[in-house]
Structure 1
Amino acid sequence: MPKVQEIAQSAAAIARELGIDKYDIYGSSVDDTSVEVFQGEPKQVQASNRSSVIVRVWNKNNQVGVTSTTDVDPTGLKLALKTASEASFFGVKDNVPDFSPQAKAPTVSIPQETPDQAPVSDLIEKLIDAEKTVIDAHPAIESVPYNGLGQQDGNRFYLNSEGAMREEVRAYTSIYLYTKTEQEGKKPRSSGAFKISHSLQDLDIDGCIKEAVSKTISHLDYKPIKTGKYRVVFSPRAFLSLFGRFSNLFNAQSILDKQSLSTPESIGSQIAAPYLCVDDNALHPENISAETFDGEGTPTRKITLISQGILKNFLHSTITAKRMNTEPTGHGSIGAKVGVSSHFYHVYACENSTQTYRLEEAENVVLIDNLQALHAGVNSLQGSFSLPFDGWLVNKGKYTSIDSATVAGDFLTLLKSIIFVESEAEVTPGGICPRIWVEELSITGEQ
Structure 2
Amino acid sequence: MTSAALNVSTLQDQLKALARREGILKWDLGANRSSSASVQVDRGQAKQLKAAQRSSITIRVWNQQGLVGITSTSDLSDSGLEKALMGAHQASCFGNPDDVPGFSPLATAPEPDLHRPIQDAQGIQCLLKQLLDAEQQLLDRHPAIGTLPYNAMNEGSSERIYMNSEGALRQAQRTQASVFLMARAEETGRKPRSGGAVRVALGSRDLDLSGCINEAAERTISHLNYQPIDTGRYLVCFTPEAFLDLIGSFSSMLNARAVLDGVSLSKADSIGHQLAVPFFNLTDNGLHPAHVGAMPFDGEGTPTRALPLIRGGCLESFLHSEATARHFGVDPTGHAGMGAKVSVGADWLEVSRSPSMTTGAEHLDHTTTRDCFVLIDSLSALHAGVKASQGAFSLPFDGWLVRDGERISVEAATVAGDIRELLHSIVHLESKSVITHQGVSPHVWIDGLAITGEA
Give your verdict on TM over 0.5: yes
Structure-1-length-normalised TM-score? 0.98
Tell me the residue number matched to 2:450.
442
Deviations 1:415-442 (A, max 9, x none): 0000111122222232111110001100
> What is the match of residue 143 of structure 1?
147
Residue 218 of structure 2 corresponds to residue 214 of structure 1:
yes
Q: In structure 1, what is the Cα distance between the partners aligned to 2:454 and 2:155?
A: 43
Counterpart Cα distance in 2 of 1:362 and 1:276: 24
Instruction: Give the stretch that moved more between structures: 89-98 or 397-406.
Output: 89-98
3-state SS, counterpart of residue 439 of structure 1? strand
Aligned to 2:428: 420
Match of 1:386 in 2: 394
Provide the secondary structure at the position in 2 that maps to 1:122. Answer: helix
Find out whether 1:169 has 2:173 as its counterpart: yes
2:292 alignment partner in structure 1 = 288
In 1, Cα distance between the equivalents of 2:87 and 2:251?
35
Equivalent position of 1:51 in the other structure: 55
Match of 1:12 in 2: 16
Match for residue 365 of structure 2?
358
What is the CA-CA distance between 1:446 and the residue it aligns to?
Answer: 4.5
The aligned counterpart of 1:255 is: 259
Output aligned runs, 1:62-141, within 5 Å. Answer: 62-141=66-145
* Percent of pairs with identical residues: 45
Return the alpha-carbon distance in structure 2 between the equivalents of residues 257 and 204 of structure 1. 42
Q: Give the conservation status (yes or no) of the 8 Å contact 1:178–1:190.
A: yes
1:109 Cα deviation after fit: 1.8
Return the offset for 1:95: 3.0
Residue 365 of structure 2 aligns with an amino acid whose one-letter code is R
Residues 67 and 336 of structure 1 are in contact (CA less than 8 Å); yes or no, is this contact kept in structure 2? Answer: no
Q: Would you identify which runs of 4 or more consecutive aligned residues in structure 1 move more than 6 Å?
A: none
**8 Å CA contact 1:23, 1:58 repeated in 2:** yes
Amino acid at match of 1:153: S
Using the alignment, how far apart are the partners of 2:173 and 2:42 within structure 1? Answer: 33
CA distance in structure 1 between the aligned counterparts of 2:217 and 2:267, rounded to whole angstroms = 45
Secondary structure at the aligned position of 2:361 is classed as coil
- Runs of 5+ in structure 1 lacking a partner? none
Output the CA distance in 2 between the equivalents of 1:191 and 1:3: 45
Output the CA distance in 1 between the equivalents of 2:302 and 2:114: 16
Could you list the per-position Cα deviations for residues 88-124 of structure 1 after superposition, in whole angstroms to 9, with x for gaps in the alignment? 1111222311111111000102124222211211101
Once the two structures are superposed, residues 167-187 of structure 1 have per-residue CA deviations (whole angstroms, 9 ceiling, x without a partner) of: 000001100000111200100
- State the 1:372 CA deviation: 0.5
Which residue identity is paired with 2:359?
Answer: S
SS at match of 1:423: coil
Q: 2:401 & 2:371 partners in 1: Cα distance?
A: 9
Give the equivalent residue in structure 1 for 2:31: 27
Rounded Cα–Cα distance in structure 1 between residues aligned with 2:370 and 2:347: 34
Q: Which residue of 2 aligns with 1:179?
A: 183
After superposing the two structures, state which structure 1 stretch, 69-78 or 232-241, moved more. Answer: 69-78
**Aligned letter for 1:161?**
S
| C-alpha distance in 2 between matches for 1:299 and 1:369 | 35
For the residue of structure 1 that corresponds to 2:48, the secondary structure is strand
2:156 equivalent in structure 1: 152
Which of 224, 227, 237 pairs up with 1:223? 227
1:269 matched to 2:276 = no
Classify the secondary structure of the residue corresponding to 2:15.
helix
SS state at 1:67 partner: strand
SS at match of 1:264: coil
Give the length in aligned residue pairs.
447
SS at match of 1:424: coil
Displacement of 1:335 in angstroms is 1.7
Q: Is 1:376 matched with 2:377?
A: no
Cα displacement string for residues 269-323 of structure 1 (whole angstroms, at most 9, x for unaligned residues): 1110112111001111111111111111111111101111111001111111111
Aligned to 2:375: 367
Q: By how many angstroms is 1:49 displaced?
A: 0.3
Looking at structure 2, the residues matched to 68 and 428 of structure 1 have their Cα atoms a distance apart, in angstroms, of 34
Name the SS for the 1:265 alignment partner: coil
Hey, what's the Cα distance between the residues in 2 that align with 1:133 and 1:229? 39
Whether the 8 Å CA contact 1:112–1:168 is kept in 2: the answer is no
RMSD: 1.0
Please list every run of 5 or more consecutive structure 2 residues that lacks an aligned counterpart in the other structure.
none
SS at structure 1 position matched to 2:384: coil
Deviations 1:183-241 (A, max 9, x none): 00100001100000011221100000000000011000000000000000011111111
Q: CA deviation at 1:41?
A: 1.0
Partner of 1:404: 412
Q: In structure 1, what residue type is equivalent to 2:240?
A: P
Q: What SS does structure 1 have at the residue aligned with 2:212?
A: helix
CA distance in 2, matches of 1:139, 1:65: 60
CA distance in 1, matches of 2:9, 2:437: 32
